[in-house]
């Protein structure tokens, strides 16, 4: 079978791109031929004898909205030229105007547009107006793309419900396959605290994500930290243009908050932290939560995150309302009070993550692709 994957990126350093990478590797292992239409492709796949790469540039247009449109037009022509060569076409959301057989959804623009946390609802400006237009157009294009596909894959049950309620997709066409995690990259005690210049006797909470916008909700983490005296916070994320260093100073906790900037060694920081705190206001999955679990780090996160479906009381605390500072404060305080419990939770977190390897996820995807190809090849018999 020859499978075509149409997406922007196929590489390890990107959440959606990593899923594509692992699924393609598994498809090759199982003997399938692969065509990839993308802007970026990992070097090992680019030179693989069973992979044919059609590089499609998104151009140098000034906005992502325009670049995505150019990419969609170019991929449409590529698919029209090669459609007869392909047994199955797999896409991610709206990336082409052509029809697909499988559409894998990592983010539901319909739900994000309806969310009370959308930037345009929080603050009116030219920047947030652009984001409103961008989300609105993608909502329309994404819904149209899903109407023109046979099977929709959701990365969490939360995404499945959003597709049904906000995007109007028939639930019978939706399959849920959770994301995986790299168990060889993320594991307990990967790095020592001395290597990271951290104190052995201090208690550290870790936060990671975009700290320029309010969606990841670092503000509530800082407010909660101001109510807990014996915990230090490590923040991974680009601080340029971020309001949160100033907020930490205003709350009087700047001495207990270490802004680390952008880091490529997230696995080291996760394994060294005592807990991972992530009360995101909107998150279809949140791969970082699964990575923290794999690193043996107990998790505190909002139940809005799709990955919270994997939580158990033995290794995680879920917060119903991401803006509930009191609930987050109590969760941090509760874990900080019992280091032995933190150790046990870390062990249980790692055990839970072992059930969600990238290879296990990829096998589920390829099985779904093969089943879709069989249905496509069998003519419909009228009663």
**Domains in the chain, please, with CATH?**
2-180+357-377 (3.40.50.2000), 204-353 (3.40.50.2000)
What's phi and psi for 106, nearest 5 deg? -105, -15
In the predicted model, what is the mean pLDDT of the chain? Answer: 95
Q: What is the per-residue pLDDT for 377?
A: 80
Q: What is the model's pTM?
A: 0.92
Q: What is the per-residue pLDDT for 320?
A: 96
Tokens representing 299 are 């998790």
| Other Cβ atoms within 10 Å of 60 Cβ, number | 8
CA–CA separation, 372 and 106 (whole Å): 20
Three-state SS for 358? helix
- Give residue-wise pLDDT tens across range 123-180: 899 999 999 999 999 999 999 999 999 999 999 999 999 999 999 999 999 999 999 9
pLDDT band at 13 (very low <50, low <70, confident <90, very high): confident
Residue 383 pLDDT greater than 70, yes or no: no
Average pLDDT over every residue of 354-376: 96
User: What share of the chain has pLDDT > 70, as a percent?
Assistant: 98
Q: Where are the alpha helices (DSSP H) in the chain?
A: 15-29, 43-46, 64-82, 109-114, 119-122, 126-147, 157-165, 218-225, 244-250, 266-272, 287-294, 325-336, 339-353, 358-377
Average pLDDT over every residue of 340-354: 96
More confident residue, 122 or 7: 7
Name the packing angle between helices 64-82 and 126-147 (round to 10°): 20
- Give residue-wise pLDDT tens across range 251-294: 999 999 999 999 999 999 999 999 999 999 999 999 999 999 99
- Give residue-wise pLDDT tens across range 218-255: 999 999 999 999 999 999 999 999 999 999 999 999 99
Q: What is the per-residue pLDDT for 382?
A: 46
CB 35 within 8 A of CB 5: yes
pLDDT band at 379 (very low <50, low <70, confident <90, very high): low
């Amino acid at each position: 079978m020859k499978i075509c994957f149409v997406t922007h990126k196929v590489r390890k350093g990107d959440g959606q791109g990593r899923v594509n990478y692992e699924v393609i590797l598994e498809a090759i292992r199982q003997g399938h031929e692969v065509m990839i239409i993308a802007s970026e492709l990992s070097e090992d796949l680019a030179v693989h004898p069973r992979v044919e790469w059609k590089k499609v540039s998104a151009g140098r247009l000034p906005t992502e909205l325009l670049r995505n449109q150019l990419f969609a037009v170019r991929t449409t022509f590529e698919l029209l030229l090669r459609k007869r060569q392909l047994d199955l076409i797999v896409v991610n959301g709206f990336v082409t105007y052509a029809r697909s057989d499988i559409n894998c959804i990592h983010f539901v623009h319909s739900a994000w547009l309806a969310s009370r946390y959308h930037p345009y609802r929080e603050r009116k400006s030219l920047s947030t107006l652009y984001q409103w237009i961008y989300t609105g157009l993608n909502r329309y294009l994404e819904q149209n793309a899903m109407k023109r596909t046979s099977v929709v894959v959701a990365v969490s049950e939360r995404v499945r419900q959003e597709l049904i309620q906000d995007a109007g997709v028939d639930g019978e066409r939706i399959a849920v396959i959770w994301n995986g995690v790299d168990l060889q990259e993320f594991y307990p005690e990967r790095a020592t605290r001395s290597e990271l210049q951290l104190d052995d006797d201090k208690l550290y909470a870790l936060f990671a994500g975009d700290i320029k916008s309010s969606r990841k909700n670092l503000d509530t983490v800082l407010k909660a930290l101001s109510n807990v005296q014996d915990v230090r916070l490590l923040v991974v994320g680009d601080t340029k243009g971020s309001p949160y260093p100033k907020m930490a100073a205003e709350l009087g906790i700047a001495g207990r908050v270490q802004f680390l900037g952008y880091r490529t060694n997230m696995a080291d920081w996760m394994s060294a932290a005592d807990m991972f705190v992530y009360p995101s206001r909107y998150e279809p999955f949140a791969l970082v939560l699964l990575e923290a679990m794999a690193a043996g780090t107990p998790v505190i996160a909002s139940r809005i995150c799709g990955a919270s479906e994997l939580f158990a009381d033995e290794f995680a605390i879920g917060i119903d309302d991401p803006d509930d500072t009191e609930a987050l404060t109590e969760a941090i305080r509760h874990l900080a009070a019992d280091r032995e419990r933190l150790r046990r939770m870390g062990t249980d977190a790692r055990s839970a993550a072992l059930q969600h390897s990238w290879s296990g996820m990829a096998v589920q995807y390829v099985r779904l692709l093969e089943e879709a190809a069989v249905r496509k090849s069998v003519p419909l018999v009228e009663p």
